[in-house]
Amino acid sequence: MAGATFHAGRWSGCIWRRFFEPESGNDRVPARFSGHLNDNKLHGLHHRKILMNYQRIHPFPDPQAYESPELRALTSVWQEKKSALEDDGAYKEFIKKLQREWAIETGIIERLYTWDRGVTEILIEQGIESSIISHRGGVSQRDAEHIQALINDHLGIVEGLFSYIKGDEPLSEYFIRGLQAQFTAHQDYTEAVTESGNLVQVTLIKGEYKTLPNNPRRPDNEVHTYCPPELTKEEMESLIRMYREAEATYTPEIKAAWLHHRFTQIHPFQDGNGRVARALASLVFLREGLFPLVVRESDRKEYIGALESADAGDLSPLVSFFARRQKDAILKALGLEQQVQQSKYADQIISSALELLKTKFSKEKQKVSIVYEHAEKLLATVEGRFKSLVASLDGQLRAVTPPQKQKSYQARTNSANNASPQRHYFQKQIFEAAKLFDYFANFEQHRSWARITLTTDQEFDYVVSFHGYGPGDTGILVASAFTYIKAPLEEGGTEPVGLHPAATDLFQFNYVESYESTAKRFAEWLESSTAIALAEWKRSLQV
């Protein structure tokens, strides 16, 4: 049974305890709030030092600096197809589960409660129920009911965001204060540590800006400075003004990252800042017809690192992280769209719309088919890179072959395009790699690959494979990369063992993005993949 840790506190009479991280919106420091609980200290020397340390929020960066062509192209694909889904029951269920995941994970990332991913998945599938939380999470029924109430507060907020965007109301301080009040509906107190080290309870003011400093202290006793209370309203007014001025100019991933980070710089509330920040980022994406931003517990290290980079002036890692989260959501929705579309096509055929469908299908195929041309060009890129690598490695390997070896060490490469009779190679390995990245590898329309084999005392293969993503012909292809060793069998021949992914993520490309943009991204992905593969080869030699 998965164990849960419950850090929730005074909701309707039980003490609110934050023994770990404060809800800083970035979880970058432990929960030692520098005190300043005596109003007389607010005008003292130490507070003046904090005023000087606080950096005012900066405007948006250059619009071209952090754009994601991949997400822009994938968004275009989604916008073309989403209208076919909006009234479908399967899509509505997909959105409902996504909302549940958002509601659960935004509390986990703040350490309000913790458990393993299996508990989260059950709650996503079956709904937010205290009995499930108690039984599967291993907490008391009373605590489980408190957790359920908190998650339901979160759920009400994300459902409200979907409704809010329909009114097309501009972002306002009033709306943001309302979000914080909703997030803390079941929270009456928070705790703080004074400068003298005493732990004290502080009444939580809901829907209002902070009146005391909330600067958390790092383990090295350095204070992480947020906006002083007397500047908070002014900074929030600047935040809203800057956002509205830039709203029509920037892509959603840049707007979401900027708004999230600048809001956490201000940290306008006593508590709830991290949850509000992720709600604001989600609102940006929803207004663009995309999906709420889900930050999972498994994302914690990358998320915190991206926020710290933004603190240092580089927003790029946070933009990239947000873009990748949206890409994952779009790809899952497109897989659902294909299944729904197939059933709708069947209904239309029955209703004698066959000719119309043929015309539509023909036009769609013509538009989508360009992605297969891109795949062949990318395969040629891999072939060229592999031939260059083999030309360099083969002579070096032969030169270090021990004299007693009957067969020289060597490097070689081969490949198969979509028309080759060898295109079906590596099916088992491709499916195994696809499980690691949680997608369905589709070989119906396209399948090609390139391989490097490095032969020493063992044979080591590095493969880059091109194939479809998800069911049907969506116009989305991926490149996956993996390595393995050929282990000899007693009866002769070999079998692949020790498969490892040779990339940190899939490379996705589609018919909307230009080949120039795709090729540029792919060159970076391939170099990273090759480095990972060669590092794994070196490691295998040491075993």
Residue 48 tokens read as 């003046």
> Which of 23-27, 358-362, 447-451, 537-541 has the lowest average pLDDT?
23-27
């070196």: which residue's tokens? 538
- Residue 187 and residue 181: Cα distance in Å, rounded? 10
Say whether pLDDT at 266 is over 90. Answer: yes
CB 430 within 8 A of CB 480: yes
- Residue 476 and residue 465: Cα distance in Å, rounded? 14
**Which one has a higher pLDDT value, 157 or 47?**
157
How far from 182 is each of 101, 148, 155, 255, 529, CA to CA, in Å?
Answer: 18, 15, 10, 23, 45
- Residue 88 and residue 90: Cα distance in Å, rounded? 6
Rg (CA), the chain: 27
Q: What is the mean pLDDT of the chain?
A: 83
Determine the average pLDDT of the residues in 390-414. 93
Determine the average pLDDT of the residues in 5-33. 36
- Residue 2 and residue 16: Cα distance in Å, rounded? 24
Question: Residue 147: which H helix or E strand, with range?
Answer: helix 141-164
Q: Where are the alpha helices (DSSP H) in 351-458?
A: 354-368, 370-399, 427-436
Residues of the chain with CATH 1.10.3290.10: 5-330
pLDDT the model gives residue 28: 43
> Which of 59-63, 220-224, 405-409, 448-452 has the lowest average pLDDT?
220-224
CB 80 within 8 A of CB 266: no
CA-based nearest residue to 158, from 285, 252, 279, 297: 279
- Residue 215 and residue 207: Cα distance in Å, rounded? 19
Name the band, by pLDDT with cuts 50, 70 and 90, for residue 5: low
Name the band, by pLDDT with cuts 50, 70 and 90, for residue 92: confident
Say whether pLDDT at 136 is over 60. Answer: yes
Say whether pLDDT at 235 is over 80. Answer: yes
Question: Residue 495 gets which letter from DSSP?
Answer: E
């989604």: which residue's tokens? 78
CB under 8 A, 24+ apart: contacts of 415-423:
415/379, 415/382, 415/383, 415/386, 415/448, 415/449, 415/450, 415/451, 416/448, 416/449, 417/376, 417/379, 417/448, 418/372, 418/375, 418/376, 418/446, 418/447, 418/448, 420/448, 423/447, 423/448, 423/449
Fold of 5-330: Fic-like fold (1.10.3290)
Determine what percent of the chain is predicted with pLDDT higher than 70: 83
Determine the average pLDDT of the residues in 88-95. 84
Residue 519 tokens read as 């090729």
Q: Dihedrals φ, ψ of 487, to 5°?
A: -95, 130
How far from 268 is each of 176, 309, 489, CA to CA, in Å?
Answer: 10, 21, 65
pLDDT the model gives residue 490: 77
Determine the average pLDDT of the residues in 50-73. 80
Q: Where are the alpha helices (DSSP H) in 267-315?
A: 273-287, 300-311
Residue 378 tokens read as 């990318």
pLDDT the model gives residue 364: 55
Question: Residue 498: which H helix or E strand, with range?
Answer: strand 494-501
pLDDT the model gives residue 423: 94
pLDDT tens digits, one per residue of 286-331: 999 999 999 999 999 999 999 999 998 999 999 999 999 999 999 8
pLDDT the model gives residue 4: 59
Residues 6+ apart with CB under 8 A from 342: 472
Residue 112 tokens read as 């309000």
Say whether pLDDT at 256 is over 70. Answer: yes
Count Cα neighbours of 121 within 13 Å in the Cβ-side half-sphere: 4
Q: Dihedrals φ, ψ of 119, to 5°?
A: -65, -45
- Residue 319 and residue 68: Cα distance in Å, rounded? 8
Strands 507-510 and 476-488 come out as antiparallel
pLDDT tens digits, one per residue of 162-187: 888 887 788 999 999 999 999 998 88
CA-based nearest residue to 433, from 478, 477, 499, 485: 499
Name the band, by pLDDT with cuts 50, 70 and 90, for residue 17: very low
CB 391 within 8 A of CB 384: no
Say whether pLDDT at 283 is over 90. Answer: yes
- Specify the pTM: 0.71
> Which of 12-21, 49-58, 240-249, 357-366 has the lowest average pLDDT?
12-21
Say whether pLDDT at 1 is over 60. Answer: no
pLDDT tens digits, one per residue of 320-362: 999 999 999 998 888 775 554 544 444 443 444 444 444 444 4
**Which one has a higher pLDDT value, 192 or 417?**
417
Residue 242 tokens read as 């800057």
Determine the average pLDDT of the residues in 511-523. 92
pLDDT the model gives residue 175: 94
Determine the average pLDDT of the residues in 228-251. 94
pLDDT the model gives residue 27: 40
pLDDT the model gives residue 151: 94
